[in-house]
Amino acid sequence: MTDTGIQAPNGALLDAPGKAKKAEAPLIAQVAKAHGISPLRQMRDIFSMSRGAQKLSGPEYYSLRLFDPSKSSEDKRAFLGQAGINALNTTMNPPVAVPTRAFVGNKLLYTQLLTQLGIPASTTQAIFSTHMSAGHLTIARNATDLADFLLKDARYPIFGKPHFGSLSTGAVRIEARNDDMLRLFDGTTHNVDTFAEHVAAQYPGGFMLQSALSPHSAMAHIAGPAIGCVRVVTANDGSGPKPAYAVWKMPAAGAISDNTWQDGILLSHIDLGTGTLLSLVRGAGLEAETLSDHPVSGAPVVGQTLPFWEETLRLATDAHAVFPEFGICGFDIAVTDEGPKILECNDNPSHMMYQRATQRGIQNPDLAPTWQAVADRQTKQVAKIQCALKAKK
């Protein structure tokens, strides 16, 4: 939107991504022409990778560039589709052994708990909900209450998002209020009452209004003013949580969030030992680009070191240790000038961004032993729980 007048209310909140489309004939032909992989060979590969643990779809085969003839068969077998990723994560976070998954998925309760424990996390100013209780936090029960908060008590800038949800669907960043108009991150303005009515209609179950964070100045110099979270994935095989890998998600130009489905987002694999940026990838499939400098700011990326790196890793492992029953966690961490803060924890982290940032499968020889050790621990834990339940009968 470019008009800075009053906008349609549904234009204020970020839409959900569209579903992936099936591979189209032109794409198959392009791969055949560019890489010498016949259509029949592509179809055979897709069929083979759709089976077993990989569970790769056709669109995922092309998105991850698994048609690339430079990749060996062994390399290709290390990649998982989203269905395969879900299955892998379930072995590490089986519902029987990890009954706290619903709590961690509750963005309000989870971040409030971390704050109470002294673990830096995002700050919630208020929540809209027709039925929830949130202790001392401001609760807006209807659109009038929400508008009243935005007019009188809100401390701007504010980042709003659904209480439950993913992929930044419904997210909004409000920079300031001028009289009865809200100015958003993209410069558009929205009437307070109209905005509140839309939120109330779309998210009666809960909509959080948090203090918006700004990235560390060194990261903003590279990737712009929107928060690009560092995703730190931790694993616990019973010996305590440890970092498994980390990726910096850089928002696309003009975006308010860093979700990987948005066009123009960049991914950078991070060296765990030093915080050094090892890669820079934009796009997917035939359009994927491997870069060394940020394409918008022109700032060098590969070889740079992220600020507060030791603190970022410690924050992730400390937060995981609060719920040691989890085998795997994916933390989205905002690194600010004041230090890192946890925005949320994912109990089913998608490893697609790792696969794209590194151009390696998540089941590569460096990581597969970690996942197996965690799964083995959880298998034993499930067996103990089941035995205990049988003994009670």
258-311 pLDDT, tens digit each: 454 456 789 999 999 999 999 999 999 999 999 999 999 999 999 999 999 999
Structure confidence at residue 9 (pLDDT): 40
Structure confidence at residue 214 (pLDDT): 93
Q: Are residues 245 and 264 in the same domain?
A: yes
Residue 201 lies in a domain: yes
Residue 390 lies in a domain: no
Phi, psi of 186 (to 5 degrees): -85, 5
Query: Could you tell me whether strands 289-290 and 281-282 are parallel, antiparallel, or unpaired per DSSP bridges?
Result: antiparallel
Q: CB neighbours (10 Å) of residue 152?
A: 8
Three-state secondary structure call for residue 245: strand
Residue 163 lies in a domain: yes
Inform me whether the pLDDT recorded for 327 exceeds 80: yes
Report pTM. 0.88
Structure confidence at residue 171 (pLDDT): 86
Q: Are residues 272 and 236 in the same domain?
A: yes
Residue 251 lies in a domain: yes
What does pLDDT average to over the chain? 89
Lowest-confidence segment of 123-132, 247-256, 329-338, 358-367 by average pLDDT: 247-256
Q: Name which of 268, 309, 343, 325 is nearest 100 in CA terms.
A: 325
Inform me whether the pLDDT recorded for 325 exceeds 90: yes
Residue 196 lies in a domain: yes
Query: What gap in Å lies between CA 73 and CA 191, rounded to an integer?
Result: 56
Q: Are residues 203 and 344 in the same domain?
A: no
Q: Are residues 167 and 301 in the same domain?
A: no
Domain end residue (candidates: 211, 237, 255):
211
Lowest-confidence segment of 42-46, 88-92, 94-98, 259-263 by average pLDDT: 259-263
Inform me whether the pLDDT recorded for 237 exceeds 60: yes
The band of 251, judged by pLDDT with boundaries at 50, 70 and 90, is: confident
Q: Name which of 262, 241, 231, 256 is nearest 349 in CA terms.
A: 231
Structure confidence at residue 252 (pLDDT): 77
Is the N-terminal amide bond of 99 cis, ω within 30° of 0?
no
DSSP class per residue in 57-86: -HHHHHHTTTT-TTS-HHHHHT---HHHHH
Query: What gap in Å lies between CA 111 and CA 90, rounded to an integer?
Result: 23
Residue 241's H or E segment, with its range, is none
Domain end residue (candidates: 196, 211, 226):
211
Q: Are residues 296 and 344 in the same domain?
A: yes
Domain end residue (candidates: 211, 239, 264):
211
Q: In which domain, by residue range, is 77 found?
A: 25-90
Residue 313 lies in a domain: yes
Domain total in the chain: 3
The band of 75, judged by pLDDT with boundaries at 50, 70 and 90, is: very high
Q: Are residues 265 and 328 in the same domain?
A: yes
Residue 57 lies in a domain: yes
Q: Are residues 252 and 315 in the same domain?
A: yes
The band of 148, judged by pLDDT with boundaries at 50, 70 and 90, is: very high
Q: Are residues 285 and 231 in the same domain?
A: yes
Q: Is the CB of residue 138 less than 8 Å from the CB of residue 153?
A: yes
Q: Are residues 179 and 272 in the same domain?
A: no
Residue keyed to tokens 């997210």: 171
Query: What gap in Å lies between CA 61 and CA 151, rounded to an integer?
Result: 49
Mean pLDDT for 124-146 is: 91
Q: Are residues 206 and 310 in the same domain?
A: no
- The CA R_g of the chain, rounded to the nearest whole Å, is 22
Structure confidence at residue 13 (pLDDT): 56
Mean pLDDT for 219-232 is: 94
Structure confidence at residue 1 (pLDDT): 29
The domain that holds 221 is classified in CATH as 3.30.470.20
Structure confidence at residue 2 (pLDDT): 29
Q: Are residues 359 and 226 in the same domain?
A: yes
Lowest-confidence segment of 10-24, 36-50, 150-164, 285-299 by average pLDDT: 10-24
Inform me whether the pLDDT recorded for 12 exceeds 70: no
Query: What gap in Å lies between CA 29 and CA 62, rounded to an integer?
Result: 12
Q: Are residues 201 and 240 in the same domain?
A: no
Structure confidence at residue 165 (pLDDT): 55
As a whole-number percent, the residues of the chain with pLDDT over 70 amount to 89
Residue 103 lies in a domain: no
The band of 4, judged by pLDDT with boundaries at 50, 70 and 90, is: very low
